[in-house]
Amino acid sequence: MSHQTGRRTLLAGIASGLAAPAAYAADPIKIGLAESLTGSLAAVGKSGILAMNIWVEAINAKGGLLGRPVSLVFYDSQSNPANIPGLYTKLIDVDNVDIVFSGYATNMAVPAMPIVISHNKLYMSLFSLATNSQFHYARTFAMIATGPDPKRTFSKGFFDLAASLDPKPKTLAIVGADAEFARNATDGARINATEAGFDIVYDKSYPPTTSDYAPILRAVRATNPEVIYVASYPSDTTGILRAAAEIGLTARMFGGSPVGVQTAALKTQLGPLLNGVVLGEQWVPSPALQYPGVMEFLKIYRSRAPAEGVDPLGVFLPPFAYARMQVLEQAVTAVGSLDDGKLADHLRTHTFKTVVGDITYGKDGEWASPRLIWTQFQGIKGNDIAQFEDPAREPVLLPADFKSGTLIQPYVAGH
């Protein structure tokens, strides 16, 4: 396992233009996490590290927090949930980190919860669906736009769109990985589907080790569903969309929660295979959603992404990874302490201004209000990355206040 503190990135950032802070007499404030730097989640995880380092550099250039420099202490989880408990035990007991963060993704965040709870530490998760739904731990706070009922919210917009079709579809297939994230997502999908009056004709999970998705999609097609909801992780998503094109899958609507298509790596790999896919996004840079500071952050991020070897677009995880740091900064500054309990009390009772908008926390440390965006890939030609900077390639369908396009149907895989 590798242990990195982000110093190399920090020094590179200072050398490229940030003024070095004055020397500190105090020990650094240590923020600890395990992140996926290798394995199937690395393309996303590494982009979050760059975003956090951008904040670290900026805060240290201003004098740090509480008069102390800030450093990141992080280990490579290798995208393996089994590594998480040991890494968090080390972070807390050996490295004595002051603040505990999760890495990216539900499957990586949830296994740390028992360790965090046993040490009574504050825990701020990142893009982890319903992390606290089974623990109800008062010191956990989420950075994900799903709101107080995350399992249902994660797919509600998908079913609202499906129900709006004329004539209204009747049959539905649910496909998801047999893993923490997908189980949470499909649990919510069943509730939403039932409430919307859909007849679920296929509802099966597949092992995370699956490599051939064509048999799964053939079984789905055999049930003749009008709507297909998918909850998958990046490597699964690629296999599913390639298999859908291979067998010529069609439906009136297809998508839901195919994680990974938000990244530049999968966008350029899949190209036109994305056309017609409907998905829930945390945020997209359409003009109506450009919150104060977010485009300035992306400008800095994109200037450094090539050298760091991370997602060059940075519209998925990085703004939220940066926003988590902003929330922490505001809480620590207001409380004047690193006390876990005092910080948790402050987080529960205040609103925080971030590059992804104002954030207020509610039940189980989730956002008080959901802000998921529902989009559809349209008009993608070839695999050129530049086209994905055009908002018209992924118009917003919901919420209505931010709508920038119209749903195209039916879904015809690969067209």
Q: Does 118 map to a domain?
A: yes
Q: What is the pLDDT of residue 21?
A: 45
One-character DSSP codes across 256-325: EEETTTTSHHHHHHHGGGGTTEEEEES----GGG--TTHHHHHHHHHHHHHHHTS-SS--SSHHHHHHHH
**10-30 confidence digits (pLDDT tens):** 323 322 334 444 456 689 999
Q: Does 238 map to a domain?
A: yes
**38-59 confidence digits (pLDDT tens):** 999 999 999 999 999 999 999 9
* Same-domain status, 336 and 401: no
Q: Does 372 map to a domain?
A: no
Q: What is the pLDDT of residue 24?
A: 61
349 is in which domain, residue-wise? 3-145+290-365
pTM: 0.91
CATH number at residue 294: 3.40.50.2300
**For the chain, what is the domain count?**
2
Residue with tokens 């706070």: 141
Q: Does 237 map to a domain?
A: yes
Residue with tokens 């807390």: 92
Q: Does 370 map to a domain?
A: no
Q: What is the mean pLDDT of residues 244-258?
A: 98
* Same-domain status, 57 and 114: yes
* Same-domain status, 221 and 89: no
